[in-house]
Structure 1
Amino acid sequence: MTTEIKAPQFPEAVADGTVATWHKKPGEAISRDELLVDIETDKVVLEVVAPHDGVVGKILKNEGDTVLSQELVGYLEEGSGAAASEPAAPAQETAAPAAEADAGKVEDGWGPAVRKLISENNLDPSKIKGTGKGGRITKEDVLNHLKGGAAKAAVAESAPKTETSAAPMPAGAASGINFGDREERRVPMTRLRARVAERLLAAQHNSAMLTTFNEVNMKPVMEMRKNYKDMFEKAHGHRLGFMSFFTMAATEALKKYPSVNASIDDNDIVYHGYYDIGVAVSTERGLVVPILRDVDKMGFAEIEGKIVEYGNKAQSGKLSLEDMTGGTFTISNGGVFGSLWSTPILNPPQTAILGMHKIQERPMAVNGKVEILPMMYLALSYDHRLIDGKEAVQFLVAIKELLEDPARMLLDL
């Protein structure tokens, strides 16, 4: 029996997709619900799994090909693999042990995605442990090798890293590739990065965007975090970060200034009676913004737990369209990468975005005396078509006041 393998049903907002990775080659056995192929859209990566046990048949759409919703990409045959149906030649049997021992070095067994990753990152295949059939190197093996090696050193902590609209450093740069004399490398944009670029340009062309700044004394938040972080982690199973403080403060400020939580639809203003906060997350494929829904009904532990969950899903490409749909306001944190000052770009159709930055010790005048305090610049980019400068400044000051006296958030003051 032959079963058709089709691309998933795309949502209305997604026109087509690209075959990103085939995890099995024709003739290879596959089990039911085992990952077969990844389809990348301009929003998420969709996984296609095997509907039953069998053998991969003819592949109609190769890696890099464009596919439409529900389009046929290949076939799945009944059986237990090519090895069971075709007797191996004596010469192959004799050479099998040597081939398996040297599987990590034999390029013939690599897929296009594996070749590309190894070439771009200047990797030594003999040092990559292959988990595919006969020790063949798969894309996941290369990615795990990068995460466990030089790329791991580039990650300061396990918490999800949020950033402004700047693109993350390429994997090759994180791995320390040294380009030759006047060497150039041309790599096509992923669909996700191309979509992000399109939306950022649209935001600049279709809004009257400007940015207001303020600074906040982070000492009260840092002291509260220091005093309770061990108890918090023991009670809830994850760390107490800064994002929950900023998310809670932003939500309280949005309640006071509803136009900052609104959006523009042609000539209409849409005021939202809920608070869905987007958190910008940098991934290997580009910038994504998963949504924390109904933040006004969440506590610190729920917010931190959801951020960790989204961060892990983003890094593994498991975010769904539902995770990133909607949102009334966005928070972007360039401080985790060392940014001291930036102007974040709006995430349409939202009308405002808050930018966090690096905490830097600076001398400040306090009650006539100079003190060294941990300060952070805050930036609020907003659409002047809807939000006046006075309202934008007052909104940012409200966030500043809540962060400098975080007990007010707990007491609803």
Structure 2
Amino acid sequence: MIIEIKVPTPGESITEVELGRWLVEDGAVVDKDDEIAEIESDKATLTLVADEAGKVSFNAQEGDTLEVGAIACTIDTSFKAEASEEKPAAKTEDKAPVEEQKQKEHEPAKSPDKTKDGKLEKLSKAADTESQSHVKITSVAKKMMEENKLSVEDILQGLKRISKNEVEAVIDLPEGTSTALSSQRAFSREEKRERMSSLRRKLSQRLVAVKNETAMLTTFNEIDMSRVMELRKKHQSRFMETHDFKLGFMGFFTKATAVAMNFHPAINSMLDGEEIIQPEFVDVGIAVQTPKGLMVPIIRNTESKSVPQIEKDLKDLAEKARNKKISVEELTGGTFTITNGGTFGSLLSTPIINPPQSAILGMHNIVDRPVAINGKVEIRPMMYVALSYDHRIIDGKDSVGFLVKVKELIENPERLLNQGINPEELLLEL
């Protein structure tokens, strides 16, 4: 039986998609629910999944533009039986070493270290362990590897295939060259060329449009992160036991922006022709870096959510984005955006507005710096923050005041419980 695999609809407004790449080879036998291709639109990357087990036959090539509902490939389910028969055959072959081992039990015992095979196996394992021990892993990469259950070996195997250039580079090395020199990159004048994905092309167009069509301006401030860092350190273990995930900084900043908009609602506004739209809800987009480029999943109604709820939503949406499981609806409709370049070590930047929104908050790296506290110099963990905004509808008073309010809320996180009002003023009804 022939099963047709059709292009799914990424969203209501999308009629065409691009076939990004095939995840299997033409003619390969796949199991049911295996991912077989990546489909790219100007908003998200989705995957085609095998409805049944069988042999795949391509109807399109990588880079082709396909209409929603078009047949991307077919699956011949008659090959399902052959695929299932191959697996037991492999198990039968596995019995040979067992029988061989039984025969060896009746032979005189030999020291495994003295046999040639034993030495090779031992040296091979030692070499693998030694090579992996020299691999440096950043904290962000380590976290991603743990979340996706990947080892160093998995990453190294999937990183790159050995090509003719690498082999020739090793062959041409002079005798006696050290391993340190052999790891150096060979001299080359080659260049790699690849077509931009549909998602990145759309992103490029939007970024250029923002620079050309908005009166973008950026204001800066700095925040003392001491209170939030102490709060995280003090309650992190209990937080993980209660919620089953770590407490980060993004939950505090997202909640703080939602509360600060009570005092400066213009930051949450959008321009539609000659009209200014000002939603009464705050849907915050959080910029997430994925293998396919930057994506901005939306956390809805942050004004009504707690810090743990925001952190949970962000965790779920970020995992979906990185695993290409996120829907177009989850990437559409934000009223404000936060981007955190500090995760990559950025000290200061001017973020670009995400249209049709009118403002974006940029977080940066936390660095210990000397600051004046009550007339004395102290070392505090400080973060620069930046607010880029469309000056056509947001005045300097609102932009600066909004950033000052965010600073106030992060430096005094207990005020997030009182909608940004000072507890003393609330007590005295001032």
Counterpart of 1:255 (choices 249, 262, 278) is 262
- Counterpart for residue 280 of structure 2: 273
C-alpha distance 194-401 of structure 1, shift in aligned 2 (>3 A) = same
Aligned to 1:283: 290
Query: Residue 19 of structure 1: SS of its match in structure 2?
Result: strand
2:216 matched residue in structure 1: 209
Match of 2:155 in 1: none
Question: What residue number does 2:241 align with?
Answer: 234
What does 1:367-406 align with in structure 2 at a 5 Å threshold? 367-406=374-413
Alignment-derived partner of residue 111 in structure 2: none
Cα distance in 1 for partners of 2:339, 2:411 equals 20
Q: Distance in 2 between matches of 1:6 and 1:397?
A: 51
**Aligned twin of 2:117:** none
CA gap of 1:149–1:244, structure 2 versus 1, over 3 A, is farther
Aligned pairs for 1:154-193 (under 5 A) are: 155=140, 158=143, 178=185, 180-193=187-200
5+ residue gaps in structure 2?
Answer: 84-88, 94-123, 125-132, 146-158, 161-182, 422-430
8 Å contact kept, 1:276–1:326: yes
State the TM-score, normalizing by the size of structure 1: 0.76
How far apart, CA to CA, are the structure 2 residues paired with 1:217 and 1:377? 9
Match of 2:66 in 1: 67
Q: Which has the larger radius of gyration?
A: 2
Partner of 1:117: none
1:270 Cα offset (Å): 0.9
Q: Whole-Å Cα distance in 2 between the matches of residues 373 and 336 of structure 1?
A: 19
In the other structure, the counterpart of 1:110 is none
* Percent identity (aligned): 43
Contact 2:7 2:48 in 1 (8 A): yes
In the alignment, is the contact (CA less than 8 A) between 1:295 and 1:303 conserved in 2? Answer: yes
Q: How does 1:10-409 map to 2 (within 5 A)?
A: 10-56=10-56, 58-81=57-80, 83=82, 153=138, 155=140, 158=143, 178=185, 180-409=187-416
The separation in 1 between residues aligned to 2:140 and 2:269, in whole angstroms, is 35
Q: Distance in 2 between matches of 1:29 and 1:232?
A: 46
Alignment-mate amino acid for residue 376 of structure 1: M
8 Å contact 1:7–1:70 — kept in the other structure? Answer: yes
C-alpha distance in 1, partners of 2:321/2:399? 31
Measured in 2, the distance between the counterparts of 1:317 and 1:360 equals 33
Amino acid at match of 2:143: S
Note the C-alpha offset of 1:200.
0.8
Structure 2: distance between partners of 1:159 and 1:181: 32
How big is each residue's C-alpha offset from its partner over 1:222-277, in whole Å with a ceiling of 9 and x where there is no partner?
A: 11111111111111111111111101111101122111111111111111011110
Q: What amino acid is the match of 1:68?
A: E
- Deviations, residues 256-311 of structure 1 (Å, cap 9, x unaligned): 21111111111111110111100001111110000011112211211111222122
Compute the displacement of 1:184 (Å): 2.3
Q: Distance in 1 between matches of 2:307 and 2:261?
A: 17
Q: Is contact 2:5-2:75 (8 Å) kept?
A: yes
- Give the letter aligned to residue 46 of structure 2: L
The alignment partner of 1:197 has SS state of: helix
- Please report how far the alpha carbon of residue 353 of structure 1 lies from its aligned counterpart in structure 2 after TM superposition: 0.3
Residue identity opposite 2:263 in structure 1: K
If each structure's helix is expressed as a fraction of its own residues, which one has the higher value? 2
Paired positions, count: 343
CA–CA separation in structure 2 for the residues paired with 1:326 and 1:178: 46
Q: What's the TM-score, normalizing by structure 2?
A: 0.73
- The CA RMSD over aligned residues, in Å, is 3.0
Aligned mates of 2:396, 2:370 — CA distance in 1: 29
Give the direction of change, closer, same or farther, for the CA distance of 1:153–1:217 in structure 2 (3 Å limit).
closer
8 A contact 1:28–1:82 mirrored in 2: no
Q: In 2, distance between residues paired with 1:151 and 1:332?
A: 26
Matches of 1:151 and 1:5 in 2, distance apart? Answer: 42
Q: What SS is found at the alignment partner of 1:42? A: coil
